[in-house]
A and B are shown apart, each in its own frame.
Chain A
């Protein structure tokens, strides 16, 4: 796949999907890397006690994985100049070896006059979307 340029991209273009498996080990790894040690991301007892269906992934882990759809497409993490999401549903991660799969996608939704490309990002877990109003602005070469 060639790197996208401003002239090669069109509104409606779909970015290659990325399916990511989340296990408890991934949550622990993210907790350590980010410094977010909120108990609901690793302790089932606490998660259930506060009314969650179980241990849930950090929203920020989902957000961090979702943008890889864009950075792989343009082969450059520095191309992303703006990125925002709304968290709508938790990703429940069971205590097993298989984990759960979240599927991320992207679609070019605008090409702006300032030369940035807007990409709408989707994140689907168990057939339901977990991120809303999720989009990135990307600066690619002309």
Chain B
């Protein structure tokens, strides 16, 4: 069943903030092969002017993936997760994410369209610091293969 375009603009504000942990930053950086001392060594990060280790570029997906998954498979939106493949992904930074940041996540459906019988949905998550400062934006486009495909 095609997704309803009237869901464009639907917003979800997570009721819990995400506290960026030093060990999670290190663990994620190891998993993606990011060996920069800024992501592992507190002293190096502080020498570069950061309060703690800095998250590697794609780290925000660890914050947003589950939120986005829950949001788009909610019956109100109705994406069938078993048919989903990851189409596009983008991260835009206003400033680096640093261990100790406590981030509010606001997610909105930016686009829904049908292409060649497949549903495509684009979701944007805004990561905001506790002082209201915008930190990063994360776009995830998911494609649900059509039933007949």
Contacts and interface: CB of A to CB of B under 8 A. Distances in A.
Contact of B65 (A35, A61, A76, A82): A35
Nearest to A84: B90
B65 to A, nearest CB: 6
A53 interface: no
A83 B87 contact: no
Interface in B67-97: 82, 85-93, 96
Given A33-B30, A78-B96, A59 B36 contact: no
Q: What secondary structure prevails in chain B residues at the interface with A?
A: mixed
Contacts of B61: 34, 36, 60
B108 interface: no
Contact of A35 (B62, B85, B89, B92): B62
Contacts of A83: 57-58, 90-91
Contacts of B50: 78
B126 interface: no
A78 B91 CA distance: 13
B25 to A, nearest CB: 10
**Which 7 A-B pairs rank lowest in CB-CB distance, beginning with the nearest?**
A64-B32, A84-B90, A33-B31, A64-B58, A78-B96, A30-B31, A59-B86
Interface of B: 24, 27-28, 30-36, 38-39, 48, 50, 54, 56-58, 61-62, 65-66, 82, 85-93, 96, 139
9 contacts: A34-B31, A35-B62, A35-B65, A61-B32, A68-B35, A77-B34, A81-B93, A85-B90, A87-B86
Interface of A: 20, 26, 29-30, 32-36, 50, 59-61, 63-65, 67-68, 71, 75-78, 80-87, 133, 136
